Structure 1
């Protein structure tokens, strides 16, 4: 499956072209097409904004006419926040990404974006299969770079399998062994017995089980177990550091 081309139609600011390239780099897209940029091409400000995405700008294709930029594409979605009075299906970025992922292998696709001042013209939109509108709370118009970022992200996310939650694989962030937990239980319960907290004796076992259950629910890391043991030592021995003078 080919990745969608990003077509910037008559962009005005080089910074936004660079931001679009950067968004593409972040989410695995590389085919950038620029139609009649206002300030010409190449553009120093675009390169300054692109940072590590400069190769995408190096390979960007420049066109004088939108028809030429779209000529080899089989599926094109146009992004606009305005009601253009044209009979076109309007879809959200996630739906656009879902559909693009289902395009038959070998077919080329593209996402079309207008300029910063007025977006796409009606004639531009008429060349697309449907319209993408990004839902917003109030002000519907987005910065060009932001719009490209959101659409690229949704395309990437449609097939992304990153776990929704994970623990970093740093040795200090690993799960503690049973032995390390047992040592924490013994240490804590020993000090609580010494200070008279686990009293009376006939309730000691029940209270100890409740403490252990609380620790288990916390899902502590190895580092957290060691920190707790250090806290117990400090409290039990009255260890303290000198406080800074006011």
Structure 2
């Protein structure tokens, strides 16, 4: 069993140089990945892009999708892998390219997957990483920062060669980012309304919630159930707004396990 490369997309978030877009297109095409997505590029000069892509990847560039916002670009994808060279308390559980490629074998059968790369100067911010279901880093001997196209090539190579010989558990069709972000927005407002999270900094408190649901892997119907629960809580709160309710302490869960 191998990764279904037809369901894999390389997503470049705010690349600065058109040559890097072209080189990334060529690297992806070399490894059998034909879908390239570019978000808010600083310079999208097609001539310079094609110069680095060469005729080999002209078709990838011709079909390249360009978006202004990361939310719109990631909306169709059901699993997002973020690339990072940095670690920290909010970037735990980071995997190697080989490990993540093996894990994507069963997921890629029925789910569209985005491999998200950040801008050349700073990579992906914590705000951008909140859209990701998993994180991957490329181990290096010394200097951890790689050229964008080099990073794309390493990840794409591991995806191209990844196989799983042992039978794996079935991975269902997951909810896409548009459905998930709608759910997270609804859940954030509901949890703030009942004082489960701090309304002054909701995204910080929602980090653990996002991590928990990413580990589970939600289907579209799961999202509908959760939003239905939120609607019922919203209704109950509105009906009992004048009642005396004991307020719980913010953050009823540990943040940095």
Matching residue of 2:61: 57
Gaps of 5+ in 1: 161-246
* Correspondent of 1:149 among 127, 149, 153: 153
CA drift of 1:99 comes to 1.1
Paired with 1:146 and 1:87, the residues of 2 have a C-alpha distance of 22
Matching residue of 2:81: 77
Runs of 4+ in structure 1 over 6 Å off: none
The answer (yes or no) to whether the contact 1:79–1:112 under 8 Å persists in 2 is yes
Paired with 2:89 and 2:62, the residues of 1 have a C-alpha distance of 37
Q: Secondary structure at the match of 1:134?
A: coil
Matching residue of 2:127: 123
In the TM superposition, 1:65-214 aligns within 5 A as 65-103=69-107, 105-159=109-163
TM-score (normalizing by structure 1): 0.62
Q: Secondary structure at the match of 1:90?
A: coil
Q: Secondary structure at the match of 2:99?
A: helix
Q: Secondary structure at the match of 1:72?
A: coil
Paired with 2:108 and 2:135, the residues of 1 have a C-alpha distance of 20
The answer (yes or no) to whether the contact 2:10–2:116 under 8 Å persists in 1 is yes
* Correspondent of 2:47 among 44, 47, 55: 44
* Correspondent of 2:27 among 18, 23, 29: 23
Q: Secondary structure at the match of 1:28?
A: coil
Rg comparison, structure with higher value:
1
CA drift of 1:3 comes to 3.2
Q: Secondary structure at the match of 2:66?
A: strand
The answer (yes or no) to whether the contact 2:7–2:108 under 8 Å persists in 1 is no
Cα distance per residue 1:143-171 (max 9 Å; x no partner) = 000000000000001149xxxxxxxxxxx
TM-score (normalizing by structure 2): 0.59
Paired with 1:37 and 1:136, the residues of 2 have a C-alpha distance of 27
Paired with 1:124 and 1:65, the residues of 2 have a C-alpha distance of 11
Paired with 2:39 and 2:88, the residues of 1 have a C-alpha distance of 21
Q: Secondary structure at the match of 2:107?
A: coil
Gaps of 5+ in 2: 165-257
Say if 1:131 and 1:117 are closer, same or farther in 2 by CA, change over 3 A: same
The answer (yes or no) to whether the contact 2:8–2:108 under 8 Å persists in 1 is no
CA drift of 1:24 comes to 0.9
The answer (yes or no) to whether the contact 1:84–1:122 under 8 Å persists in 2 is no
